[in-house]
Chain A
């Protein structure tokens, strides 16, 4: 049950960070999202994202920062296995589910749905 509480608190906290970038930093959504992804990637570069996931579960895997984390994860695990070329081949290894799902569902949606307003 504690897992749910931490998912809520940490996930909400990351969203507040994004909101502060909107309101205080006056950044556009695109700048904010890019910054958060890079932040997630850098945090994982230091090996700190995994402990956060262990602690907060979906609170750490659902926000977009986890996308940066997954990109680095893929790159590093293939780096370990295949050497330097793994940095290139491994980047999309883990994020495939998210990107593929988003592309496929969005495409199908565009086929059937009429734009509103």
Chain B
């Protein structure tokens, strides 16, 4: 009501008429500028560091349990996922993710982060309809497209008789 009565204030709130093209330019000029190069460097450093950590865990499994590199890959991924879930619970993973972009999204830890945060976020809707139904909200597309691609590649191998 104050805005309506104040004669001086009205001009400050006068509607701005802009074409959508003008608006786009206006909005773009005010977007926080993060260059593609800076984003790529961050993604490279953080993504590389996560893989470096994975390599360390894998070497540990190979040394401690006398595993081959291939055998150590699965427990390594499981440990990485556990770490990612713990960091997600502490709210740390999403803080790093804001800075690192694809550096935290592309490694398998990002996959676990998307599942874990969806599960926690929808907990209030119940275990079945909330946690169960929403856990794969983001990760689901990855699994669906991965499986469909693997299916067709398998069929192609079967047809051409390469057999893998």
Taking Cβ atoms with an 8 Å cutoff, the residues of A that contact B are 3-4, 7-24, 29-30, 32-38, 40-42, 44-45, 53, 57-59, 61-68, 71-72, 74-77, 79-80, 84, 86-88, 90-92, 94, 97-99, 101-103, 105-107, 109-117
Contacts and interface: CB of A to CB of B under 8 A. Distances in A.
A18 to B, nearest CB: 4
Interface of B: 36, 39-40, 42-52, 54-59, 69, 73-78, 80-82, 85, 88-89, 91, 101-103, 105-112, 115-116, 118-124, 127, 131, 135, 138-139, 141-147, 149-151, 153-158, 163-164
A77 to B, nearest CB: 6
B68 to A, nearest CB: 12
Contact of A106 (B36, B115, B155): B115
A107 B163 CA distance: 37
A65 to B, nearest CB: 8
Given A15-B102, A41-B146, A41-B153, A106 B158 contact: no
Nearest to B48: A12
Contact of A87 (B78, B91, B146, B154): B154
Given A10-B51, A12-B43, A98 B81 contact: yes
A97 B78 contact: yes
A62 B51 contact: yes
A-B pairs with the 10 shortest C-beta distances?
Answer: A11-B51, A15-B47, A12-B48, A76-B164, A58-B54, A18-B102, A87-B154, A71-B150, A75-B154, A19-B102
B44 A12 contact: yes
Contacts of A33: 105-106, 110-111, 141-142
A42 B146 CA distance: 10
A113 B85 CA distance: 11
